[in-house]
A and B are shown apart, each in its own frame.
Chain A
Amino acid sequence: MSLVIQGGRVVDPSQKVDGFLDLRVEEGTVVEVGEGLSVPDGAEVYDAGGKVVAPGLIDIHVHLREPGHEYKETVASGTRAAAKGGFTAVACMANTSPVNDCRSVTEHILSEAERHGRARVYPIGAVSLGMEGKSLSNIGDMVAAGAVAISDDGLPVSNAELMRRALLYTQHYDIPVIQHAEDLDLSGGGVMHEGEWSTRLGLPGIPGSAEDVMVARDLLLAADTQGRYHVAHLSTGRSLDLVREAKARGLGVTCEVTPHHLLLTDEEVAKSGFSTDCKMKPPLRSETDRQRLLEGLVDGTIDAIASDHAPHHPDEKDESFSCAPFGIVGLETTLSLCLDRLVRPGILTLSRLIDLLSWGPARALGLPGGTLAVGSLADITLIDLDATLTIDRDTFVSRSRNTPFAGWELQGRAVATFLAGELVS
């Protein structure tokens, strides 16, 4: 099976490539990238028509909700949403029911992905058994089954000793520990960022320090253990400073940010009239934090943009702001939001954005893909920079609808994704 994608603008930050090139795929692998490639007999030709040909995008922070919460999302629906949004791979969090803390759950997720998946699925195992924060989960077993990292995401690893042990033990498998950095005593019963807006609205606040103290603690442990540490959905300027400084010291530390923390602030809770689609953890932060995160994207401190795709059923979100669950979906909106609000205004180059959505996340978790180098997986995303999109939650293929971006009119979107050379969306 041979495929030649012709006439596209290949943007591959892993190779520092940005030019009008053809790309030839054999048996699911990129075998040639160059100008005016000849088409072998019997090869399929795809005319990219000047669109951007990027490495398949990778979202390293997704909740597929299966097993256990299939009414919110499934591996099938979540990967369909991924493919539609331009993602060819997702890493899914362990807070399922039962928790992904052992080989059988990891295998179940992967078998669902094998049968129904429209994107590659990389399971993330739990740090602790049952995500109870007490003892280490079956890390080796899960890695053998295909887990790529461990995280108790949704909950932090509060116990410092457990985090230290996790950072040590994971070195046997060279996988990172992903931390949802939140000091639960400091965040208390908070439901939005602590600041003038929480004060105005009378909603209990989550101070930025709830994240910062946990990141600071973990970085000390990462330094002591030389373990691999990844900060999930980093949201404050100060946590970013801590990561920047740790990287400068040569620690094996990476971090991701979400589109919503890059584009929205705590004021949105007021502007939206207490919309529960503005409720997530970490909460939408201050404008100062947001500006600092944008700097972190540009200066390279931030390794990846990840959606923290967190589907919830409309009935669950249709509650008071205080009672509704935390989280929003993102797979079908991330790319267009970033193209329109980060690349179009010139905050990021197209190449840097694609880096943050492909090569950066692949390196953070040590995943294959994220590159169009010869010999790599032929996972490819075609992006039309001129096509427009109005975010309409009724057209989502995800099972959930919880987005604060409904109605946003955006320019630039994925128009096709190839998985191992096969057109899947």
Chain B
Amino acid sequence: MNETNWHRKDLLGIAELSAAEIELILDTAESFREVAERPIKKVPTLRGKTVINLFFEASTRTRSSFEIAEKRLSADGLNFSSSSSALVKGESLVDTARNLQAMSPDLIVIRHGHPGVPHRLARLLEAGVINAGDGAHEHPTQALLDAFTIRQHKGQIGGLRVAIIGDIEHSRVVRSNIHLLQKLGASVVVAGPRTMMPVGIEGLGVDVAYSLDEALDGADVVMMLRIQLERQGRPLIPSIKEYFSLFGLTRDRLGLANEDAIVMHPGPMNRGVEIASDVADGPESVILAQVANGVAVRMAILYLLSGVRGAA
């Protein structure tokens, strides 16, 4: 592994990464994958390093994935979440940052409901910052684990057609994936109800489709997004039933995609809302591989970022 190519203190988004940096992370993850297959799933790589997992927004999957990655690297991980700590309203972002810095962590993994918060903290902190999702802005580690999974199943990303379907407007997964897939040479089509399609999305270089069939045509990868039921207070879609009839991925419709297409989902899935169970559990589904790969990818990121911190 050649960490000398990694010069960043933080991983805030995919938008600012080069293709070479993305590939470095993916290649590094490759070498961490086999740790999960050992009887003793632990390497001493980050022994003595402190990682704070700072989650201002509920997360099970991403937080657990980071925690496991930290443990497998022998880092000392520490969890703060807004519900269980003093990090609730009343303390400003800046004070939160100063308090954390006072504990001299090496890395901070942060999820926040508001775009730009990790960027803000990164400027204030000496510790490296990993964005674990900031509002609808970016979720770089998700895009990286998605890319890792695509590469695993398709050999490479360049030249593939990737369809991303669902609530495009409110998804951070979409934005990070659009940046990443295009940087590695894939073409991306996004599809969803017009009420969930953000203004100006074409400006990011993607094709836009307003029917599932059109999006699936020629797709090598089909990425379904979670429809957030809690947004139903806003007039975005009339009902889940209508959503499923317009954009739900069924076995029949999957037939429109390329024969060897794979199906992905960042989780958590709503069966019968955006994806039919027989597709979610079918042979095309790589959804659980995504989860498994998430640990290896996050190990790679923790490793690369702490390397810059320089055990120096």
Q: List residues of A whose CB falls within 8 A of some B CB.
A: 188, 194-205, 207, 273-274, 315, 318-323
Contact A320 B199 (CB under 8 A): no
Is B199 a contact of A202 with CB atoms below 8 Å?
no
Q: Chain B residues with Cβ under 8 A from A321's Cβ?
A: 114-116
Question: A203, B137: Cβ atoms under 8 Å?
Answer: yes
Binding site for A on B (CB under 8 A): 15, 92-94, 112-117, 119-120, 123, 134-138, 169, 172, 175, 198-201, 203-204, 234
In the bound complex, CA of A93 to CA of B292 (Å)? 58
Structural contact, B135 and A205, CB atoms closer than 8 A: no
Q: How far is the CA of A273 from the CA of B114 in the complex (A)?
A: 13
- Chain B residues in 8 Å Cβ range of A199: 169, 198-201, 203-204
Q: Is the CB of B119 within 8 A of A273?
A: yes
Complex alpha-carbon distance, A273 and B123, angstroms = 10
A320 close to B116 (CB less than 8 A)? yes
Nearest B residue (CB) for A320: B114
CB distance from A321 to the nearest CB of B (A): 5
How would you classify the secondary structure of chain A's contact residues: helix, strand, loop or mixed?
A: loop
* 26 interchain pairs, CB-CB under 8 A: A194-B199, A195-B199, A198-B198, A198-B199, A199-B169, A199-B201, A200-B204, A202-B135, A202-B137, A202-B172, A203-B115, A204-B136, A273-B116, A273-B120, A273-B123, A274-B120, A315-B92, A318-B92, A318-B94, A319-B93, A320-B93, A320-B112, A320-B114, A320-B116, A322-B114, A322-B135
Nearest A residue (CB) for B56: A320
**Set of chain A residues within 8 Å of B204, measured between Cβ atoms:** 196, 199-200
Tell me the bound Cα distance from A273 to B112 in angstroms: 16
Inter-chain contacts of A322 with B (CB < 8 A)? 113-115, 135
Q: Are B134 and A202 in contact (CB under 8 A)?
A: yes
Residues of B within 8 A of A196 (CB): 199-201, 203-204
Is the Cβ of A202 less than 8 Å from the Cβ of B115? yes
Which single residue of chain B is at the shortest CB-CB distance from A192? B115
Q: Give the contacting residue for B115; candidates A188, A207, A274; CB below 8 A.
A: A274
- Give, as a whole number of angstroms, the nearest-CB distance from B113 to chain A: 8
Interface contacts beyond A202-B115, A273-B120, A320-B114: sample of 20 additional A-B pairs, CB < 8 Å, sorted by A = A188-B234, A195-B200, A198-B198, A198-B200, A199-B198, A199-B199, A199-B201, A200-B175, A201-B116, A202-B134, A202-B135, A202-B136, A202-B175, A203-B115, A207-B199, A273-B116, A274-B119, A321-B115, A322-B135, A323-B114
A200 CA / B169 CA spacing, docked (Å): 10
Write the nearest CB–CB distance from B275 to chain A, whole angstroms: 23
